[in-house]
């Protein structure tokens, strides 16, 4: 068994899934204090993931995510054991990062036009926050489609005999040809906590107080 995912990437993924689920429910139901706090924590998580993409384990690095379209097509047709994301999967990951950051940044500039506004609304022209509020709605639909395709791809791999979920849960994989250089995910969690403190300190006090009553 070779270790292919460090503890942070594994935790990051399931925290991301949880955060998106909470953001969906709180956004749709209008629980915007909880929505903001979850959004700030997700922003901290994504920023920590970006830092980990530069200094983290081999399989977490952005350098491992860029592949030619040709190798992506080849990966979709074959069943080779790649270490970490295969070339096709890496396009999906990059798409997720772009969509999630668009969702976060548009959220910071969004307003419900009644009581609640993101912390950047005060700093941008009102036309921007109108566009951002529309984008926050439209981009979420695209994100949902990307999630459906992502889960479908995982199911297809499962049918082809590759259990990617098990690998993402345990971090270990059998029969890989190269051994990636791994780093302990603890540092990334510390970076996540530091980003959370800074972001919640700057923007989170008012929604936190409202939430805690
Ligand atoms: C809100 C829903 C989801 C989002 C936004 C999401 C996003 C992502 C992202 C960004 C990665 C790359 C991780 C990284 O390198 O940082 C990833 C990988 C992965 N996700 Fe998800 N995911 C979602 C739901 C799921 C679900 C429900 C499953 C299980 C059925 C799943 C299974 C996996 C697996 C197995 C990988 C590793 C793929 C590989 O081996 O290349 N994901 N996901
Ligand atoms: C990836 C992170 C996020 C997701 C998935 C998300 C998702 C959503 C969803 C599904 C809605 C309901 C949209 C609608 O009914 O049209 C919503 C509304 C809203 N979100 Fe987010 N959101 C995220 C981050 C943020 C952040 C960081 C903020 C600001 C700090 C924010 C501020 C708002 C506001 C103000 C609304 C109400 C807009 C309205 O009523 O038109 N969101 N969000």
pLDDT for res 80: 58
CB-neighbour burial class of residue 213 (10 A; exposed 0-12, middle 13-18, buried 19+) = exposed
Q: Is 85 in the pocket of ligand 1 (CB under 6 A)?
A: yes
SS3 57: coil
pLDDT digits (tens, 9 = 90+) for 8-39: 999 999 999 999 999 999 999 999 999 999 99
- Rounded distance from Cα 27 to ligand 2 centre (Å): 5
| Least distant ligand from the CA of 41 | 2
- Band of the pLDDT at 82, cuts 50, 70, 90? low
Q: Is 207 in the pocket of ligand 2 (CB under 6 A)?
A: no
User: Which domains are seen in the chain, by residue range?
Assistant: 2-212 (1.20.950.20)
pLDDT at 87 over 90: no
- Band of the pLDDT at 178, cuts 50, 70, 90? confident
- Band of the pLDDT at 75, cuts 50, 70, 90? low
- pTM, full prediction: 0.93
pLDDT digits (tens, 9 = 90+) for 122-154: 999 999 999 999 999 999 999 999 999 999 999
Ramachandran class of 36: left when φ > 0, alpha when ψ lies in -120 to 50, beta otherwise: alpha
Tell me what percent of the residues of the chain surpass a pLDDT of 90: 79
pLDDT at 157 over 80: yes
- Distance (Å, rounded) from C-alpha 83 to C-alpha 88? 13
Q: Is 26 in the pocket of ligand 2 (CB under 6 A)?
A: no
Q: Which residues contact 77 (CB under 8 A, 6 or more apart)?
A: none
Tell me what percent of the residues of the chain surpass a pLDDT of 70: 95
Q: Is 45 in the pocket of ligand 1 (CB under 6 A)?
A: no
pLDDT digits (tens, 9 = 90+) for 105-120: 999 999 988 889 999 9
Lowest mean pLDDT among 20-24, 108-112, 155-159, 176-180: 176-180
Q: Is 147 in the pocket of ligand 1 (CB under 6 A)?
A: yes
- Atom 39 (ligand 1) nearest CA: 85
């Amino acid at each position: 068994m070779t270790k292919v995912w460090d503890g942070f990437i594994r935790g990051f993924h399931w925290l991301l899934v949880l955060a998106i689920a909470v953001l969906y429910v709180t956004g749709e139901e209008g629980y915007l204090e909880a929505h903001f706090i979850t959004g700030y924590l997700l922003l901290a998580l994504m920023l920590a993931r970006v830092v980990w993409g530069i200094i983290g384990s081999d399989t977490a690095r952005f350098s491992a995510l860029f592949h030619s379209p040709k190798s992506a097509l080849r990966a979709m047709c074959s069943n080779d054991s790649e270490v970490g994301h295969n070339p096709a999967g890496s396009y999906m990951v990059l798409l997720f990062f772009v969509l999630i950051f668009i969702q976060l940044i548009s959220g910071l500039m969004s307003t419900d036009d009644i009581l609640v506004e993101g912390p950047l609304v005060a700093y941008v022209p009102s036309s921007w926050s109108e566009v951002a509020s529309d984008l926050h709605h439209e981009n979420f639909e695209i994100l949902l489609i990307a999630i459906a395709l992502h889960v479908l791809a995982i199911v297809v791999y499962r049918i082809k005999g590759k259990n990617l979920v098990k690998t993402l849960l345990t971090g270990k994989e059998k029969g890989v040809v190269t051994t990636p250089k791994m780093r302990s995910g603890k540092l990334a969690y510390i970076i996540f906590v530091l980003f959370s403190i800074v972001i919640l300190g700057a923007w989170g006090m008012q929604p936190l107080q409202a939430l805690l009553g």
